[in-house]
Each structure stands twice: as structure tokens, then as C-alpha cells.
Structure 1
């Protein structure tokens, strides 16, 4: 089984892409809705909460956990992978945790994550890459840092779209969503003297739900990198080399959904994010 952890509901877009790509794999989703949003919390607290959510999914039988949240990945993934997990019995059992920043950077730079210094031809690339995200994700600087490691001549334009995720989750109408998307794109253009980006990273797992609005306001030549499909592509490659992570555990025909919040309320809000009916159960972490 594979787990997907998020502080809220945006990770359901990642879960949906993974479930479609791997119909024979069982998935368990955990949203920490009792403590969302993570963006206002201290880094150490985000690390602790992400670790607790990951352990809860391990206890459910998941051998691999994907952090379907940019804030959790940006702040906690490296510490969990390099410091926490190697010191636990989970590592000895072959468990692992992955984030969603690495596959997104790989897609943006066309460079494997393991390559952390400029290589030909990427070291000569002079494209513009826009990163749209929440305040905490952009403030972390993780996308700009990791892209520039691999493509030092690329111009990375970071743009906070602070209100967009909340507007999506609360079911704002398309007119309001279109206004917020256009405002974010205008912010990018203002930083680049009106020159559009060659690639645009939708660095929040809520944003794929309004990808058509980004497409409306960006020129056709701009390639939009939407994380659910990028993560699915990356995981397909990963599982081709580590098939053991899909073995064992209880088999489920549909993803199992857990929340630390109120199940009925979360189930109702989740309809915005899922193409199929969903039902959450409560869990403590």
C-alpha cells in the first residue's frame, strides 16, 4: 500500500492522479484537517506533524508515503528522509517517504534529482520559470534554490497566490477564481518586464483544479507543470525500480480516506477535489 499525506484537501488531486495511474495499487490518504493550515506554523512543528502523519500511514500498512503537500515537503521532507527515518525501525522494515518538490524540479529542469550541479545542456539554459505557490512555499525558496542548482542561468520568478487555495477550497465561483489567477499571472509579468514564462509550476496541489484558468491567461507556448501528473510520472519510474513498495498490506478497491478533523464536514468539502464520491473516517495522529 502507498500512503498520501497532506495537511488538508489539496493532496486529493495527487491521490486522484496516482489512483488513475496505478489501478492495481491500494492507497490510503490522510489529511490533518484538525491542524490545517500548516503555513502559519513554525518549521519544527511542521516537521513534527508531518512525521506523525507519516507514522500513522505506516501503521496503516503503507510501505511508502508520498507527501502530497508543498509546505510539508518544502519544510519537512529532507529532515524526515535524512535524520528521522534512518534512526527508526521503519527504515529497517523498508519503509520510505517521498515529497513532491523533487519530481516537480526534475520536470522543470529536465534533470534527475540526484544531479545537483550544472550539466550540459541545462547549464546553458536561459529560460524563465514561474513558480506559483502559497506564502509559505514561496518563502521557503525551495523551488528557486533547487532549480538554480541545476540550471544556474534560468530566471526563476516566484509569485505568491495567497488567496487562491482558500478560494478554491471554499468553492468560490469561476469569476473570482479567474480574477485571482489573473492577478498572480500579472504579478509574474510585472517581475519579468512583460515577458511570459517558458514554464509555469503550479506549486500548490489546489491549483490543478484551476489549471484551465492559468491556461487561459498564459500564452500557448508556456508549458504548465501541474503536480498530480508530474508526481504520477515520477512515481511510475520509481516503482519500476522499487516494486516492493506496492507489495503486502491490506488490499482496497478504492482509496481509504482518513482525517484528523470532522469526517462529515471534510467529506462534504472534499467533493470539490474528487471526481468520485468520497467518505472520510476519523483518525488520531
Structure 2
């Protein structure tokens, strides 16, 4: 089975795309709702909680886990891959949602820490809307800058969006918040044009239409779920050892939370597109 981990509901937008791309593939989802949101937490807290969540998914029989949380991926992924996994869980792996977005923007594979040999400058300005922790980590500008030095990255933290979305706020309440964050990012550009906007949180696909309305005409809005689904398919082609065995709970979906199952499940359908029966997973 393949695990999908998030601090809350947002990763369900990624899981929805993964299931649509491969409906016969078994997945286990874990939302760390008891500790959410991760955005305001320290880097050490985020790393510790992410490791705990991945451990729980490994204990459920997952050999591969996707961090469907930009905050967790930005803060914890590289450290986990380099220092924790080789020692604690050799033969298992963890991927993150930040990787496919960086590859899509730069057109350079993640494992390549510099521009491609045939790379030609393509000056562009990309805006990143994300949680405070993702912005503070500097992961998007750092990883994009390594691979495409001529791409200027401007970031804008959006601290209110996840809490608003999680409590089921409607467009009337969400639209002013989105417009405010867009104005703040555009102000950083001082009149320079914006080419693309990255929605760097897996909650934000639910408000992509509001970003599209608030941004200047012609700005490309980049969402992660479809990019992650395509990236996972490519990864499994290169690493068949992580492909679930034939007949291994084909198409089964398990939904776990560290919080209270009933209220989590009640809101989850908005993210996943259909009812999702959650179970509480005790430590």
C-alpha cells in the first residue's frame, strides 16, 4: 500500500487526484488533525510530528509515503531522506508534494542540483502563496533557484486561509482574504509583471478559482494534485519495488486521523469529493 500523510484535510485533494489517476491502487491516508495546523509550529516540531506520522503509516504496511503537506515536505523531507530513512527504514521511501511543483516550474529533475546542460535562460517571475512555515523554510525559492537561476520567486504567507477552509468558510469570507494576499504579493513586485502563481498548500485547490479571479489576467495558476499524481506514476515506473502487489487490497482506501473521527469525516468530503469514513489512529 501507499501512504499519504498530511497535517489535516488538505492532503485529501492530492489523494483524490492519485485515486483518479490509478483507481485500482490501494492507499492509506493519515491526517494529523490532533496537532494541526503545522504552519505556526517550529521546524523541530514539524520534523518530529512528520516522522511520527510516517512511522504510523509504515506500521500500517505502507512501503512508500507521500507527504501531501507542503509544510511537512518543505521542512522535513530532505532531512528524513538523508538521515532518518537510511538508518531507521532502509528499503522504504518518502516523497513530497513540493518536488513535482519545483520540477514543473524549472523543468529540471529534483535530484539534479543545478540547471540542465542545455538550459537556456527563461526569465520569469513566480509568486508562491503558502503557509507561514513553508514560506519561512525558503524551500521554493531555494530549490527553484538551484535549477533555474533566472526565475525570480516572490513569496506571500497566507496564515488565515487554512483555518478558514478547515472550518468550512464560504467564498464570501474567503474571497476578501485571498484578494488581500494577492495584493500583498503584487505590492512586492513594484509594478513588475507576474507570470505564474504557485498555490503552495494542498488546501488551496479549493480556492483556486478565487486566486484566478484576484490575480491579473494571464497569470498561470499552478495547483499540486494533478502534478503529484503524474509524478507518482513516473516514480513507480522507475521503482517497481514500491508498486503494490497484484491483489493487494485493490482499490482499498483507508482513512485515519489522530483527532476525533466524526468531525474530521464530516468536513473531509469537501476535500475528497465524496464521503470518507475516518477512523481514529491511536499513538
Q: The TM-score by the shorter chain falls in which range? A: over 0.9
Distance (Å, rounded) in 1 between the aligned partners of 2:84 and 2:120: 33
Query: Does the aligned pair in 1 maintain the 2:2–2:244 contact within 8 Å?
Result: no
Does 1:261 find its partner at 2:259? yes
Counterpart position of 1:71: 71
Instruction: Figure out how many residues of one structure are paired with residues of the other and give that number.
Output: 282
Query: Does the aligned pair in 1 maintain the 2:127–2:194 contact within 8 Å?
Result: yes
SS of match in other structure, 2:198: strand
Does 1:270 find its partner at 2:268? yes
Counterpart position of 2:11: 11
Does 1:221 find its partner at 2:218? yes
Distance (Å, rounded) in 2 between the aligned partners of 1:147 and 1:47: 22
Give the drift of 1:53: 0.9
Give the drift of 1:100: 1.2
Length-normalised TM-score, structure 2: 0.95
Deviates more, 1:191-200 or 1:27-36: 191-200
**Alpha-carbon displacement from aligned partner over 1:209-250 (angstroms, at most 9, x marks no partner):** 111111122244322110111111111111111122122384
**Alpha-carbon displacement from aligned partner over 1:61-87 (angstroms, at most 9, x marks no partner):** 111100000111111111111101100
Moved over 4 A (4+): 120-123
Query: Does the aligned pair in 2 maintain the 1:169–1:272 contact within 8 Å?
Result: no
Give the drift of 1:125: 2.1
Give the drift of 1:102: 1.2
Output aligned runs, 1:67-106, within 5 Å.
67-88=67-88, 90-91=89-90, 94-106=91-103
Counterpart position of 2:57: 57
Deviates more, 1:49-58 or 1:115-124: 115-124
Question: Structure 2, unaligned stretches of length 5 or more?
Answer: none
Give the drift of 1:45: 2.3
Query: Does the aligned pair in 1 maintain the 2:4–2:30 contact within 8 Å?
Result: yes
Question: Structure 1, unaligned stretches of length 5 or more?
Answer: none
